[in-house]
Amino acid sequence: MPASTDVAPRPDYPAQLLAVSGRALAQLVRAPSHSRRAVAARKLALHSLWLSAAGAALVIVLMVAFDQTEILLMPARGTPGLWPIRILTDFGKDEYVLSVLGAALVVVALVAAGMHGTRRALLLGFGTRLQFMFLSVAVSVFVAEILKYLIGRGRPFVGGKANPFNFIPFEGTGAYASLPSGHAVTAFALAFAVSALWPRLRVFMFTYAIVILLTRLVLLAHHPSDVTAGALLGIVGAMAVRYWFAARRLGFAILADGTIVPLAGRLKRVARGASAP
């Protein structure tokens, strides 16, 4: 007579994948729980206000005093020797950056669904950080697209002249989508997000962002004021997303004075829950 077995069957992989994905999404919309979130919100509002005011003043100064001079100094659009710059600038294209981050999130979910215990928690803790980077870029880019449509600033030499005041609001075409620069938004949002999680990468990431910004100027895709506005928007957008995560105790801690810092320590400290720190 065959021996009976009392081993409970493991949940099937599709069910695990759905559970992992559902929990990863649910953590983003759960009610904020951090006791210091109000202090952090006030600090975020203050910093955002000052950055926006200073940035707006700088954009206006550049528009009036520098934009026309700068674009006249750049090589003609389509110059053959600029092909390395055209390749380099694509590293700041929002579709590419979001595709890479999105693919990484999918891979994390697929692998974590086949894991259990601490290993799954560690991997999903990293997935929470990927969510933060993805949303920092996505939210900032979404706001930028709305602003582009509302402002309708012509790109350099659209209309045949070096006119930094060529505006057709609500025009909705690529020729009138110069302000703010989408590449600058993407690069600086990503640079801030990565630096917020891993401060030691700050110099590298902001060097990357500045290089992307400069490529947009050399290729006559934007005016200096466009990339400045894009950099500001990317940083402020990523700051807002960081607060959203910190208020839900995801990836960040809030100090007594409202400062938001990444969770410190080894990777195992990430594993405080099944899908998030």
Give pLDDT tens digits for 217-262: 999 999 999 999 999 999 999 999 999 999 999 999 999 999 999 9
Domain residue ranges in the chain: 35-270
Read off the tokens for 231: 């950099």
Confidence of residue 136 (pLDDT cuts 50, 70, 90): very high
Higher local confidence (pLDDT), 270 or 93: 93
User: Three-state DSSP class for 210?
Assistant: helix
Inter-axis angle of helices 202-218 and 182-197, nearest 10: 180
User: Three-state DSSP class for 151?
Assistant: helix
Contacts of 135 (CB under 8 A, 6+ apart): 28, 241, 244
| The predicted structure's pLDDT at residue 2 | 53
Q: Which residue has the tokens 């081993």?
A: 7
Which residue, among 14, 4, 205, has the nearest Cα to 97 in the 3D structure? 205
Beta strands (DSSP E) in 224-264 are 252-254, 260-262
Question: What is the tens place of the pLDDT at every residue in 116-132?
Answer: 888 888 899 999 999 99
Contacts of 107 (CB under 8 A, 6+ apart): none
**Exposure class string for 25-41: b at 16+ Cβ within 10 A, else e:** eebeeeebebebbebbb
DSSP 179: S
| The predicted structure's pLDDT at residue 10 | 57
Question: What is the tens place of the pLDDT at every residue in 65-105?
Answer: 999 999 999 999 889 999 999 999 999 999 999 999 999 99
CA–CA gap between residue 101 and residue 106 (Å, rounded): 9
CA–CA gap between residue 133 and residue 135 (Å, rounded): 6
pTM over 0.95: no
How open is the CA angle 225-230-235, to the nearest 5 degrees?
130
Q: Does 272 score more than 50 pLDDT?
A: no
